[in-house]
Amino acid sequence: MPEAELEEHAPAGAPKRRAPVRRRKVEAAPEQPGIVAISVVIPAYNEAERIAPTLVEAHAYFSKFGEPFEIIVSDDGSTDRTPEIVERMSGDIRQLKLVRAGANEGKGAAVARGMLSAAGQVRLFADADGSTPFDQFEKLADAIASGAQVAIGSRAMPDSILDPAQPLPRVLLGKLSNLVIQATNLPGIRDTQCGFKLYTASAAEKIFPHLTAKRWGFDVEALVIARGLGLRVSEIGVVWRDREGTTLRPGAYLQTFWEDLRIRYNALRGAYPKR
Ligand X SMILES: Nc1nc2c(ncn2[C@@H]2O[C@H](COP(=O)(O)OP(=O)(O)O)[C@@H](O)[C@H]2O)c(=O)[nH]1
Residue 162 interacting with ligand X (CB under 6 A): no
Binder of ligand X out of 56, 73, 89, 128 (CB under 6 A):
128
CB distance 93 to 26 below 8 Å: no
Q: Which of the stretches 61-69, 125-133, 134-142, 153-161 binds ligand X when contact is defined by CB under 6 A?
A: 125-133
Q: CB neighbours of 249 closer than 8 A, spacing ≥ 6?
A: none
Radius of gyration of the chain (CA): 18
Going residue by residue from 187 to 206, which x/- string records binding to ligand X, judged by CB under 6 A? --------x-----------
CB of 33 to Mg ion, least distance (A): 35
| DSSP letter assigned to residue 253 | H
Residue 40 interacting with ligand X (CB under 6 A): no
Q: Scanning residues 57 to 76, which ones bind Mg ion (CB under 5 A)?
A: none
Between residues 107 and 139, which has the closer beta carbon with respect to ligand X? 107
> How far is it, in rounded angstroms, from Cα 15 to Cα 203?
35
Between residues 131 and 149, which has the closer beta carbon with respect to Mg ion? 131
Q: Where are the alpha helices (DSSP H) in 37-81?
A: 51-63
The Cβ of residue 170 has, within 10 Å, a number of other Cβ atoms equal to 15
Between residues 68 and 106, which has the closer beta carbon with respect to ligand X? 106
Residue 127 interacting with ligand X (CB under 6 A): yes
Give the three-state DSSP class for 179: helix
CB distance 82 to 46 below 8 Å: yes
Q: Which of the listed partners (Mg ion, ligand X, none) does 248 bind, with a CB threshold of 5 to 8 Å by partner kind?
A: ligand X
> How far is it, in rounded angstroms, from Cα 123 to Cα 138?
13
* The dihedral sign for the CA sequence 158, 159, 164, 167: negative
Binder of ligand X out of 4, 29, 47, 55 (CB under 6 A):
47
The Cβ of residue 165 has, within 10 Å, a number of other Cβ atoms equal to 15
Residue 47 interacting with Mg ion (CB under 5 A): no
CB distance 170 to 247 below 8 Å: no
Between residues 131 and 234, which has the closer beta carbon with respect to ligand X? 131
Total residues contacting Mg ion by CB under 5 A comes to 2
Q: Scanning residues 71 to 100, which ones bind ligand X (CB under 6 A)?
A: 76
Beta strands in the chain (DSSP E): 5-7, 23-25, 36-44, 69-75, 96-100, 120-126, 150-154, 161-162, 196-200, 233-237, 239-240
Greatest C-alpha distance within the chain: 57
CB of 176 to Mg ion, least distance (A): 19
Closest residue by beta carbon to Mg ion: 129
Residue 212 interacting with ligand X (CB under 6 A): no
Binder of ligand X out of 247, 257, 262, 264 (CB under 6 A):
247
CB of 51 to ligand X, least distance (A): 8
Residue 237 interacting with ligand X (CB under 6 A): no
Query: Which residue ranges make up the site for ligand X (CB under 6 A)?
Result: 43-45, 47, 76, 104, 106-107, 110, 127-129, 131, 195, 246-248
* Residues binding Mg ion (CB under 5 A): 129, 131
